[in-house]
Amino acid sequence: MTDFNEARERMVEWQIARRGICNPRVLAAMRRVPREEFVAAELREFAYEDTPLPIGNEQTISQPAIVAAMIEAVDLRPGERVLDVGTGSGYAAAVAAVIAGQVYSIERHAGLVESAREILRRLGISNVTVHQGDGTMGLAEYAPYDAIIAAAGGPHVPQAWCGQLAVGGRIVMPVGRDPHCQRLIKVVRRSEQDYERSWLGEVRFVPLVGEDGWPVDDCGARAGDEILPGKNR
């Protein structure tokens, strides 16, 4: 029988803190969310491995370290409103929800929407809502957002996200010309008109498929794609 609490502590220490992630809110949130609940029963024993895991529909639950790195990069603060694009299992949304006020999460696959809602409900996480649709259009109903995070990589930052970002808000997403290979980009909205961009590290995420992302036929998503460079090679 795996002791998940102990495994989770070890994960935070070895995979996250030792990679240089030091924001105490992020570390506390990673300690709190039971990743084993977001994967199928037969994969639970691998829940605290340093790797993404399959969740069905050719998609993956993100590697823990990358969830932590993205939430640190987006500088999430208490009370904030977050748009999480690519709900998948719901894990990243749950971690963000420990820190933020409200998380609006959007996923294109109906089956994943259903299972994420069910897991979040079972865990009693009430400040995440899961919506089905094309996240490249954002989610205009609940805008503006203080932070937008995306767990799928697109060819560019979707136009709608910039408009739905509050002044002072931040976007962190993977962007690249190859649907399977990207760099993390950070966009900060400095004023109504001014956006500042910076590049973070290289990453590999599943493709962001949609109207303002990759066309469906261009890129069969390859489960297990999402890794930090230098790991699992």
Binding site for ligand SAH (CB under 6 A): 59-62, 85-86, 88-89, 91-92, 106-109, 112, 134-136, 151-152, 206, 208-210, 213
**Smallest distance from ligand SAH to CB 176, Å:** 14
* Residue closer to ligand SAH (CB basis): 156 or 190: 156
Q: Are 92 and 55 spatial neighbours (Cβ–Cβ below 8 Å)? A: no
**Smallest distance from ligand SAH to CB 55, Å:** 6
Q: How far apart are CA 8 and CA 47, in angstroms?
A: 9
Q: How far apart are CA 125 and CA 39, in angstroms?
A: 17
Active site residue 191: no
**Smallest distance from ligand SAH to CB 149, Å:** 8
> Strand, coil or helix: what is 91?
helix
DSSP E strands: which ranges in the chain? 53-56, 59-61, 81-85, 102-107, 128-132, 145-150, 152-153, 165-178, 181-189, 195-203, 206-207
* Residue closer to ligand SAH (CB basis): 56 or 144: 56
* Residue closer to ligand SAH (CB basis): 12 or 196: 12
Catalytic residue IDs: 62
